[in-house]
Structure formats: structure tokens, C-alpha cells
Structure 1
Amino acid sequence: MTNLLELYLKLVFLVLVGYILGRRLSTTVPKRLGQFLFWIGVPIGIIVFLRKADLSGQIWIAPAIAYCAILLGALFALAAIKGQAYLTNTAPRKSTQGSFILAAMVGNTGYLGYPVTLSLVGTQYFAWALFYDLLGTTLGAYGLGVALAARFGGGIHSHLQVLKAIAINPALWSFGFGLLFREVKIPAPVEFWLDLVAWSMVALSLILIGMRLSKLTSWHSLPRASISIAIKMLLVPLILGSILPFFGLTGTIARAIVLQMAMPPAFATLVIAETFDLDRDLAVTALAMGSMMLLLTLPIWLWLF
């Protein structure tokens, strides 16, 4: 409970700081900060935190669970769309269907999942969250997510561009470098400053979330967003979290996995929606609603797991 309260204070304070700054500063500031974190900040954090992470056990199962969560969310979203069409004899536009499915399947396991996991399960189990995000969510968002967006959006985009987006992702490169850097012996003062820089990047990530939320003003798609959020943040974590013991995942490891599964929709869903001409209003509403819902759902998962 103490860790949860401390996390809430940090989350609310840093996101609020970002929200206030986002309302006052130019729209280019969050864009530049996002680019800095994407290319430099997050990779530094991955390298530093990976030094203290425990890589033993069945850690490679984390991406497999991420794919299961992505596919299950997509299947439930498709079922909801079919159910609406059956009951009302009407179906939402294809662009709306695309945003609805994306919001139900891809979570914010990086910018938000990392600080939550680090605060509630510690650096020792950070690798589980890292493998879930980089080898699961990232590949799922820019693989299956983009394929679905092309199917429901304005047109088919080059598959070569999708592969390029994955290949140049600096987080994946820093993951490989971090594995090598684990074996390097460094002086304690240097390690202290590296830790300080890494945690500063976590704080900047939360501030960036607040800045981006300050730009989200649309609530017209609240009913549909509520359903996608219920699938993404409640239904999928409950089902998959309940079967984790069958894979030998219990205790703190199971908690780390469930926390990643229960993250709100990723900002990548908005980027993909804008790129492929999907329903931006629905993507925006799902982002804002999911980020606020996280404060209510976190205690549920900590209690259940």
C-alpha cells in the first residue's frame, strides 16, 4: 500500500506538471521531448535498468504472453463489433472499427508501463516488463497493428516501411547493447549517476504523458471508448492473469506481467490512427479515459495478484 501511494503521488504530480506545461508551452515542445525520449532517454533507461534485472527463469515467455493479450483484445473487439451489428443492424464505419480494435489490443507498456513496474515490483523484475514491451507490444503495434490499420483505414501502406520502423527502433538496439553492458564493471559513483539519469528519463516520460493529455479534448466517442477500455484493461488481464500459474508464473513475476497487460491504450494507437486515417476522436478518447482509469484499476490487480 505504501508503494502504491508513493506511485500515485509521483504519477499524479508528474503527469499534472506535464499537463500544466502542455497547456502553456508550444505544441512543438512535447513533440521534441517525445523525440528525445524515443531516440535517447528511453534507450538510456533500458540500458541502465537492465544491468540490475534478473534474466533467469522463463523470461522469454513474456513476449508470448504479450502476443496472446494483443490477439485476445483484438478478438474481443471484433466480437463486440459483430455483436453490435447483430443487435442493432448497424455497424460503425471501418475507420471507427480500426481505432476500436487498436485501443483494445495495444497498451502503453513503455512510457507508462516501465515506471509503474519499476515502482511496484522493482528493478530486479524489470526485464519481464522490458521483454513484454519491446519483443511483444512494440512488434505487435507496428506489425499486426499497422496491418489492421491498413485494412480498416485509408489505404495499404508499404510493408517495407513497417519493417523499417521496427528495425530502426532505438529501444530494440539499446536492449541488445544493454545485455552486453551488463558484463561491464563500472565504478560506484558512475553507476550512481547513471541511475539518476535513468530515473530522470522515467520522470520525463510521465511529464510527456501529461503534455500529450493536455492536447486531448475530444470526448464524443466515450461509449465506444468505454467498451474498448473494458476489454483492454479489465477483461484481457483478468483472463490471461488467471492462467499464468499454469505456465509457472506466480508471485512478483505474475504481478509484473499483469501490470503490463493492464496498461491503458498506447499513444502509438493515435499515431497509427492518424497515419492510416482511422477514427482519431475514438483513439483520443480511449487514451485519455484509459490513463485516468489506471488509478482505479491498479489496486484491483495488486489485490488479485
Structure 2
Amino acid sequence: MPALDPGALMGPLWTLLAYVALGWLAARRLAVDPRPVATLLIYLIAPLTFFRALTLGGPTPGYLLLTLATFLTASLLALAVHRLTRHRFAAQESALLAFSAGTGNTGYFGLPVALVLLPPEGVTLYLFCVLGITLYEFTVGFYLSARGQFSVGESLAKIVRLPLVYAFLAALLVSGLGMAVPEAAMEGLAVFPATYTLLGMMIIGMTLGRVSLREVDGRFIGACVAIRYGLWPLLALGAVLVLQALAPLSPELAMAILLLGVVPMAANVVVVAMELGIAPAKGALAVLVTTLAAPLLIPLYLTLMMRLAGL
């Protein structure tokens, strides 16, 4: 594997922070309401982005096994965190903390880093791991978040209405039947990944534009940071070491797994919190803190983890 260059992280970081700043300006100067943006991301842009990624990737049983593994890992971790925190935090905070525990900024932040660190086959492996985490966000994660505000029946009804699950099934059907998506359609869908990144980060800034100092919750932010930069790196490293002990593990897959464990909190924490009305300001502050810490912690973590994993 290539040596890790900390400078490779600065480009993605400053780009993402610029998007956050644009969102802050939009909220403060133009009075843009972030709620319709969150709805647009969840019900239109995310499903089309997801569908395009799956059809381009050409899912195989091996790739889908990675997707299933990351989906189950994220779901079990979120359920465990929810069980541990539901009596220690308010209902909305516990729900948001549980949702954030199962995910990370694997796309907006992690993908540019993966493109620098991994060869093409490694990037493909990474993307199918990311798909599992994204699927978690809009199924189990969305349900846990909704339970902070709604009943079981209402939460399940909201999941049934989410189009991302149907986009996933449609992509599998198209690939399984060997159908080719028209080239003109794929060209039209090409704009959605960049749009997803731009609006996903801008919504953090839009939410921060409405935050006052009294909404800063050090206890909640501390819990988010501990899970994202404490629990996840250990989990990723442990997974690599166990897999290496059981069977030969390619360096590309090992590096992809390690990268999943060191990215900052997911911007979708704010998107889902905004859509469901569960403490979006606290979520935005936690996401910002972990994103600002990323260029300092990720090179340190990855260097140490790669050495321990023998990469």
C-alpha cells in the first residue's frame, strides 16, 4: 500500500468546509430553509445517486456480501448504542446518537481519500462497503431516529415511504437481468453524486446558521466523538485482524475497512435529523467538530492501524 500523505486529506476537507460555509451564508443572508433541502435529499437525490452507483458497480455476490456485512455491522452497533444511551439522554438525543453510531462520512469525505489511497479495484470494494452503510442509514438508522419522535407504527410507515430501498432493489433487478440502462439516462444521473455531496454538506451550514451558543451540548458532542473516533477505529482494526487470521485478506479490502473506521461523522446525521425534527442543531455541531478534527486524527489513526495490520 502507498504511504499515507496527510496533504491528500486537505483538499477534500477544505472543499467540504467551503460547502458548509456556503450553507451558513444561505441561511444567514438569504434565509434559506434547510427542511425542503433535507426532504429533497432523502426522497429524490439519494435514491438516484444510490441507483446509479449500484448499476455502474456491477454487483456480484462477493461485492453484495460486503454490503450485507457493513449493513449488519452498522445496524447492530446502532442498536447497541441506542440501548445503552436511551436512559442517559433525552429521547431525541438518544435516537440521533444511535443513528450517528452506525454511520460516518464515508462518501463525501471518505471517497476522495479512497481514490488517493486505493487502486481502482480497492475503490470498488470500498464503494460496496459504503453502500451497506448507506442502506443502514435509510432503514434501521432512519427507524431508530424516528423513534425519538414517533411511535413504532409511525416510524415503520415512514421507512416504507423511503424510496432508497426501492432504488436498491431496482438496481439489483436491472443488474440481475442483465439490462442496460440507456446511456442518455446514465449521463443525466451523473449530476446527482456531486449534487448529493454539495447539498449534504450545505445543510450542515444552513443548520449551524440558526444555532445559538446555548444549544452547544458538550456531553452529546463528547459521546459522538467517542463513538466516531474511539469505537469505530477499534472496530475496523479488529475486523481486519480477525479476517486476516481466518483467511487471506487482500491489502485493498483491508485498507477499505480501515478507512471506514476513521472518517468523521456523516452529514446525513443532520439531513435525517432535519427531516424528522430531532435536534438537528446538536447534530450539526457534532458533525462539524469531527470534520474539523479529521485532518489531525485520520493520518495518525491510519498510519498506526496500517502498521498494526501489517499493511
TM-score for both structures, normalised by structure 2: 0.72
Equivalent residue number for residue 134 of structure 2: 133
Q: Distance in 1 between matches of 2:96 and 2:146?
A: 13
CA-atom RMSD in angstroms: 3.5
Gap change, CA 1:208 and 1:111, over 3 Å in 2: farther
Q: Distance in 1 between matches of 2:270 and 2:16?
A: 17
Gap change, CA 1:139 and 1:295, over 3 Å in 2: farther
Residue by residue, what CA displacement relative to the aligned partner does 1:206-251 show, whole Å, maximum 9, x if unpaired?
2233222322334554431342123221221122112212246764
2:198 to 198, 203, 214: 203
Equivalent residue number for residue 107 of structure 1: 100
Instruction: Tell me which amino acid in the other structure corresponds to 1:217.
Output: S
2:167 to 159, 171, 174: 174
Tell me, which stretches of 5 or more residues in structure 2 are unaligned?
116-122, 307-311
Equivalent residues in 2 for 1:45-194, closer than 5 Å:
45-53=49-57, 55-56=59-60, 57=62, 58-59=65-66, 60-74=68-82, 77=85, 81=88, 95=90, 98-107=91-100, 112-122=105-115, 124=124, 125-134=126-135, 136-147=136-147, 149=148, 157-182=150-175, 183-186=178-181, 191-194=186-189
TM-score for both structures, normalised by structure 1: 0.74
Secondary structure at 1:52's aligned position in 2? helix
Residue by residue, what CA displacement relative to the aligned partner does 1:37-60 show, whole Å, maximum 9, x if unpaired?
222111111111112336342311
Equivalent residue number for residue 84 of structure 1: none
Residue by residue, what CA displacement relative to the aligned partner does 1:182-201 show, whole Å, maximum 9, x if unpaired?
44335656544432343233
Gap change, CA 1:115 and 1:272, over 3 Å in 2: closer
Gap change, CA 1:254 and 1:21, over 3 Å in 2: farther
**Percent sequence identity over aligned pairs:** 16
Q: Which moved more, 1:193-202 or 1:41-50?
A: 193-202
Deviation at 1:129, TM superposition (A): 0.8
Deviation at 1:274, TM superposition (A): 4.3
Gap change, CA 1:55 and 1:138, over 3 Å in 2: same
Give the number of equivalent residue pairs. Answer: 278
Q: Distance in 1 between matches of 2:281 and 2:203?
A: 20
Instruction: Tell me which amino acid in the other structure corresponds to 1:131.
Output: G
Gap change, CA 1:38 and 1:23, over 3 Å in 2: same
Matched, 1:7 2:2: no
Tell me, which stretches of 5 or more residues in structure 1 are unaligned?
82-93, 151-156
Q: Distance in 2 between matches of 1:274 and 1:190?
A: 34
Residue by residue, what CA displacement relative to the aligned partner does 1:156-181 show, whole Å, maximum 9, x if unpaired?
x4321111111111111111122234
Residue by residue, what CA displacement relative to the aligned partner does 1:3-22 show, whole Å, maximum 9, x if unpaired?
42331232122222222222
Equivalent residue number for residue 38 of structure 2: 34
Equivalent residue number for residue 120 of structure 2: none
Equivalent residue number for residue 17 of structure 1: 22
Q: Distance in 1 between matches of 2:192 and 2:151?
A: 37
Gap change, CA 1:140 and 1:216, over 3 Å in 2: farther
Any conservation in 2 of the 1:264–1:291 contact (CA below 8 Å)?
A: yes
Gap change, CA 1:234 and 1:103, over 3 Å in 2: farther
Gap change, CA 1:52 and 1:23, over 3 Å in 2: same
